[in-house]
Chain A
Amino acid sequence: EDQVTQSPEALRLQEGESSSLNCSYTVSGLRGLFWYRQDPGKGPEFLFTLYSAGEEKEKERLKATLTKKESFLHITAPKPEDSATYLCAVSSGGSYIPTFGRGTSLIVHP
């Protein structure tokens, strides 16, 4: 059974204070690791897909990296508008059904 653990559960940063969110996973044959952003009262919004260890993807102040056991979402010089819950999910083997982590709630103070 696929497992996804995200840490920390909550993170408070000052504007401009860079940090990283962690997603540890256990799967049998990784098909893809996904990062989503969820704002209050909205559905999760797709950010990145990573397929293999060593892969990196960037979008504005966000950079996602992947190893064989975990993924990091690096946030460089965050702004208050980056405040949201960030969800990690994995798909494995022949399944198109992702397993989601519980998320990290990020608050960036001005």
Chain B
Amino acid sequence: DAGVIQSPRHEVTEMGQEVTLRCKPISGHNSLFWYRQTMMRGLELLIYFNNNVPIDDSGMPEDRFSAKMPNASFSTLKIQPSEPRDSAVYFCASSPGRQGPSYEQYFGPGTRLTVT
């Protein structure tokens, strides 16, 4: 299995631009999570999908952030407009959830976002 795939790996953009991050979860996993990691705040959960449905988006910072999961093999996290304080590493993780014996998560390699 290729594991969780994220693209792009690095993104540098100017303030005000739209940014779209992409994620392909592990096949068969029914839960998908988007996280943001910074030195100051550690690993923060942004949104959680179960069976392609958003279950908890309370971690989404504000309306500039949106996430979609149109099917079981693809999800996007969009920031529009981007701001310098959005600079961070964004991780996607998938989990077997209820379909598995446990609830561990498998993380992608992350997207390092820099907003100038």
Which residue of chain A lies nearest to B109 when distances are taken between CB atoms in the complex?
Answer: A43
State whether A45 touches B107 (Cβ < 8 A).
Answer: yes
Interface residues on B, range: 20 to 34
Show the binding face of B for A, using Cβ within 8 Å.
4, 31, 33, 42-43, 45, 48, 50, 56, 91, 93, 95, 97-98, 102-110
Q: Chain B nearest CB: distance from A98 CB in Å?
A: 7
Q: How far is the CA of A79 from the CA of B106 in the complex (A)?
A: 25
Q: Are B103 and A44 in contact (CB under 8 A)?
A: no
Against B, the Cβ 8 Å flags (1 = close, 0 = not) of A43-56 are 11110010100000
CB atoms of A98 and B103 under 8 A apart: yes
Mask for A93-105, Cβ within 8 A of B = 1, else 0? 0001110111100
Contacts of B93 in A (CB 8 A): 43-44
Q: Which of B97, B103, B109 contacts A42 (CB 8 A)?
A: B109
Query: A43-B110, A46-B105, A98-B105 are known contacts; what are 19 more A-B pairs with Cβ within 8 Å?
Result: A32-B102, A32-B104, A34-B103, A42-B109, A42-B110, A43-B107, A43-B108, A44-B107, A46-B106, A49-B103, A96-B31, A96-B50, A96-B97, A96-B103, A97-B33, A98-B103, A100-B42, A100-B43, A101-B42
